[in-house]
Structure 1
Amino acid sequence: MKRKKYMIVIWVAILLLVLFWFYNKNRGSVTKMDHSQAENVYVEDFGANGEDSKDDSRAIQKAINFSKKSNIGKVKLVGNKNYIIQKGIVIEEGVELEFGQNTRLMVEGNFRVIEVEKNASISNGIIEIVDKDFDSDVIYLDGKQRFWSWERTQIQNVTIINSSNSHRGIGLHLYAAELDDYICFVNFTNINIAGFHTGVKLEAEKPQSNRSKNFINGNRFINLTLDDLVRGIDIDSAVGPPNESSGNIFSGLQIQISPSTEKVLTVNGSDNRFEGMIWDVQLLKRGNEIIEFGKESARNDFYSNLEAEYILDKGTQNYYSSPENKANQ
């Protein structure tokens, strides 16, 4: 009798083990099926936590890679979490990285934080630099990707902060250097940038070959807030080909001066347009030329509340409004 009970216990145990094995096996296949049918990829499924002190870079990149491979397209970081980043990530073509409104990437180290490929996008959230040694780009677009009008590349509703008090690094960097590199018709909307050396930099380098050209043209920067920057917006190119930055529109600018500010706007390029408000100029010395149109500038327009004494124009046919001009109209 005792032996019979003993055998029953053994068979029950074996049955439970088999059921447990099948459960885990089917659970894994269901997870794969769910992923194939899902609309979103969550970084927690790849090992990110957001509530500890571990590096989440690898897990976030895995989620992005899986999103591209599976054609799901959207990677989510949700909740009031702080994801730690100790290595740069690349948002691959066709992938959207979506944060919760108060979700943060906490950047530890000195590296390019996010490179955005064409037809990729970032929305919402906060990217915060907490390392004083940081001196790189936070969001970077490379003209080798050849961004054009029919793609859906966009950056929107993002706050980029350097809270280390170092005033180093670049918040948003668009770069073109080689043959037929270009960044055109990308929308950047509702972005706050604070505490860096440079807020926004558009850089078109002169190519090595005389037959080649590159350009950063026709991009829209809508409702940017720039605060406590050494240099606000820096456009660095020639007035025209072979390396030009032209036709870029900055509208709804809100720029907050600080004692660290040296330049609000520096332009070498053509036919760019800027419109916005500049606050607390009284923090600077009178006549401090915080707006500069360089020798390689032409036909740029600048509309603001700034008096003419703060503007230096070395270029050709640039136009700027001022309270004096308005009073004389």
Structure 2
Amino acid sequence: MASASISNGQPARYFDLVNQPETLKLRNGLLIPASELKDFSEKRSSVPIEWDVNFGDVIDWSNDRPTEAYFVLEDRTLLKNPDRSGSGYLTIPYHVANTTGNVLLKYKYVIESIGKDNVSTIEMHPQDIFIKENWGELPHEILSSNVQFTYDPREEFLYANLPQISKSKEFQLGSTTMNNIQVWFTSTLIEQASFRVKYNFFGPLFQKYHQLYKLHMLSFSLPQTWSVAPGTTDIGHDNCHGEWIFQGDRQHLKEAKQNVHDFYKDLPYKFQPSMSIYVSLILLDLFGYFTGGGVAGGSHTISSSPRARSASSFITRNMIGASI
């Protein structure tokens, strides 16, 4: 079983070895002997040199979500789906995506075969044509800063990530521009701040609040320089609790907090002995601030308004009920 380099200039192909094993053939067009295919499926090591595969092709042994999908690498070895989602969706890794200037075109057939709803992450080169056509050319200061870009075709979000300072931001396809990316990037170079919101909704009127606040869904209106990501979340048929983690520049910290307060402004906060629903909401500083990667300050309860103070008391009073 020799090794050989594989061309990377062709569109990636998809081989479903569970339902259509006959699609994977020898270079001469003949079918692969069943015994060889069985041995390969068991070992999942290097692809034999006689087989017709290209760099970046996907070989899949999955029955449902592509948990057993593998990418063919240049040396004919296999890379298992890295699945950044952790939920069985396909991730097209940077290692294979950065060799093409148009990753969506290269993997068009693969995405169609697996289904767009089963693809969560496409790791893109910063100069990929998809970014250029939908947001514009990235300026030099961003290209030289090691910003990582990933695209979620299900939600149609482009994510920019600066791993060295743990900063990221999502940009909606069709409603954001390169200016939005630049504003966010510039904001990461100055003093940063962060806070979190913890929530717990349950009781007879849970569905009302689930519909009103979307609870675990991104529904906040924030400054351009701020982003929000979910923390630990637990969702049941009649309850939902978790947290949101907000990060951004310190200059717009007050505005970001006010937007969160305004979003939850209709929550009940008067304490009464009889209640029809239990809710809790607490706003905490995740940390004071950091500059250049250093962290300063400490955690404390935010109580800049009567509503926030009441919400904080909700936690400290061990889930006292609130009447609607």
TM-score range for the pair, normalised by the shorter chain length: 0.3 to 0.5
Does 1 or 2 have the higher relative contact order (CA < 8 Å, sep 6+)? 2
Which is richer in strand? 1
TM-score norm. by structure 1 comes to 0.32
TM-score norm. by structure 2 comes to 0.32
Which is richer in helix? 2
